[in-house]
């Protein structure tokens, strides 16, 4: 009898052990089993973590996509990643920090926080031939998207998409089951979708869940307003025309800008100069997914400008820290106590490491001044200024002869006045101006090659040139050329003058 009791006790203990092992797994599956998988077709896809967990917790991306985890919570994230390559443990992510992973091959990447019970997965799908038929989401609450005054009686509109290659508009609706019929009203901009034959309006083809339906309309030269009765159980209404375009939605431009911004930000990531730009990229992606394409484009461009500006300040800060360290070493070699300057420099490096470049630059200047103030001015001149003068002499000796002997192409302008013809030749840029440009550029080593080429082109044109000519000369897109001249304006190299619908770029001496 005792043996039977012990046997029963062993069964109970074994059952409890199995339950303790299986329960967390079953619970996790139950918690995530009904979660929809969010798709990301961009080259850079974000996963954020807040107090409620990862968002999204299930994400599908294409191979070679870059996955970015960003900690938006107020605690440290101990991220662990499990893939075909095994388990990896990235550095702890403090609030606001990010971690990136580029997955080059199809795989299922699982991730979790070792300090909590939150988890998720990324499905990395192989690249397949993209369908030529695009489904572009439209923000139907924005009248500028071509859907002014859209409404549904006895129901609500969930999403609106345009399939420009099929000349089709798709409206997904949730109908009120208490009513047999609803009324959809929609004003269609003719630039978005239209139906014509031989230059005359014809009827749209309308389908409710695949079944043909009729409608009434009022048409103007700019738009067509439809009133469509739809059955209560309808899920999707399709409006099919003969022409359709999504250009003015700005979808393609937003996607290009977002991918260009991601590429540029990633190029600076090795130096850690991405924090603010990452925030802007995340905002841009959210705007893109919510069909606010103009805002997505602007934020992507802001991300590019932000990371370039951060790199510029970081470069200046790095140089200033090196100069401060040189001053400190000189003072110490002369037996001068510069402990205060050393303390400031240590704090400066901490600020620099955390990406606070503006504050680090200010502190680096303080450290440099604190160290230099301890040195006799004549010694400071001898130890710092004279080597700098020698360096400048060597620089001008090697570099500037090329600029001195380079001739700018002459520009001829023939003006017919009565019976006489006057020929004027634009003066080539003066040698002193070219030397001045080289000297200004030497003081700002962070100026990019395209920016330098643009400046030299403006000088070759006599000191001013239209933005359109600069863009053609450098073979740049409109947005890139505009950002280029805005950077030069910020650095006080040029002045932008509005002439009609054109921008004249003038070199500032």
Structure-token pair, residue 326: 């040189």
pTM, two decimals, is: 0.57
Q: Please tell me the number of Cα atoms within 13 Å of 168 on its side-chain side.
A: 15
- Whole-angstrom Cα distance, residue 193 to residue 145? 11
The pair phi, psi for residue 253, each rounded to 5°, is: -65, -40
- Whole-angstrom Cα distance, residue 165 to residue 243? 9
More confident residue, 62 or 274: 62
First CA to last CA distance, the chain: 106
CATH number of this structure's domain 406-507, picked from the four choices 1.20.140.10, 1.20.210.10, 3.30.70.20, 1.10.10.10: 1.10.10.10
Instruction: Give 347-385 pLDDT, tens digit per residue.
Output: 888 888 777 777 888 888 888 888 777 655 545 555 555
Largest CA distance in the chain: 132
Instruction: Give 304-350 pLDDT, tens digit per residue.
Output: 888 888 888 888 888 888 888 888 888 888 888 888 888 998 888 88
Write down the CATH number for the domain with range 38-125.
Answer: 2.60.40.420
Are 399 and 388 in contact by the 8 Å Cβ rule? The answer is no
- Whole-angstrom Cα distance, residue 243 to residue 204? 11
Structure-token pair, residue 436: 């001045």
Instruction: Give 488-500 pLDDT, tens digit per residue.
Output: 888 888 998 887 6
Q: How confident is the model at residue 392 (pLDDT cuts 50, 70, 90)?
A: low
What are the sequence ranges of the domains in the chain?
1-34, 38-125, 136-245, 251-372, 406-507
What stretch of H or E contains 212?
strand 211-212
Q: How confident is the model at residue 25 (pLDDT cuts 50, 70, 90)?
A: very low
Per DSSP, 410 falls in state P
């Amino acid at each position: 009898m005792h043996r039977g009791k012990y046997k029963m006790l062993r069964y109970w203990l074994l059952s409890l052990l199995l339950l303790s092992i299986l329960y967390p797994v079953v619970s996790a599956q139950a918690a995530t089993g009904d979660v929809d998988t969010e798709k990301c077709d961009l080259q850079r896809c974000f996963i954020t973590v807040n107090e409620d967990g990862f968002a999204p917790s299930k994400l599908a991306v294409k191979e070679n996509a870059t996955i970015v985890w960003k900690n938006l919570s107020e605690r440290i994230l101990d991220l662990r990643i499990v893939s075909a390559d095994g388990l990896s443990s990235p550095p702890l992510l403090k609030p606001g920090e990010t971690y990136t992973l580029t997955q080059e091959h199809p795989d299922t990447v699982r991730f979790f926080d070792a300090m909590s019970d939150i988890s998720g997965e990324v499905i990395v799908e192989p690249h397949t031939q993209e369908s030529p038929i695009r489904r572009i989401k439209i923000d139907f609450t924005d009248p500028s998207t071509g859907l002014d005054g859209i409404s549904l009686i006895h129901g609500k509109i969930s999403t609106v998409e345009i399939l420009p290659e099929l000349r089709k508009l798709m409206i997904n609706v949730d109908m009120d089951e208490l009513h047999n019929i609803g009324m959809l009203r929609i004003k269609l901009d003719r630039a978005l979708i239209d139906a014509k034959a031989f230059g005359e309006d014809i009827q749209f083809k309308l389908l409710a869940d695949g079944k043909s339906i009729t409608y009434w309309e009022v048409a103007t030269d700019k738009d067509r307003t439809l009133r469509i009765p739809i059955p209560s159980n309808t899920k999707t209404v399709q409006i099919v025309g003969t022409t359709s375009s999504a250009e003015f939605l700005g979808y393609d431009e937003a996607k290009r800008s977002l991918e260009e911004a991601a590429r540029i930000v990633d190029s600076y990531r090795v130096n850690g100069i991405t924090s603010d730009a990452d925030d802007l990229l995340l905002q841009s992606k959210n705007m893109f997914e919510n069909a606010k394409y103009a805002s997505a484009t602007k934020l992507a461009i802001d991300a590019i400008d932000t990371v370039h500006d951060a790199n510029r300040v970081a470069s200046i800060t790095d140089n200033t820290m090196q100069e401060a360290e040189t001053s400190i070493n000189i003072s110490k070699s002369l037996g001068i106590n510069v402990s205060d300057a050393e303390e400031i420099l240590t704090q400066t490096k901490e600020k620099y490491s955390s990406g606070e470049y503006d504050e680090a630059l200010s502190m680096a200047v303080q450290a440099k001044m604190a160290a230099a103030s301890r040195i006799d001015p004549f010694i400071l001149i001898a130890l710092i200024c004279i080597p700098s003068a020698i360096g400048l002499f060597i620089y001008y000796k090697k570099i500037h002869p090329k600029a001195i002997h380079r001739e700018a192409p002459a520009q001829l302008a023939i003006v017919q006045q009565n019976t006489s013809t006057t020929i004027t030749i634009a003066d080539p840029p003066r040698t002193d101006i070219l030397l001045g440009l080289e000297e200004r550029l030497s003081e700002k080593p962070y100026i990019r090659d395209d920016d330098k080429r643009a400046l030299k082109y403006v000088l070759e044109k006599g000191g001013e040139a239209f933005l359109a000519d600069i863009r053609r000369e450098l073979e740049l897109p409109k947005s890139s050329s505009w950002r280029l001249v805005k950077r030069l304006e910020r650095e006080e190299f040029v002045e932008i003058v509005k002439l009609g619908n054109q921008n004249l770029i003038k070199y500032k001496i």
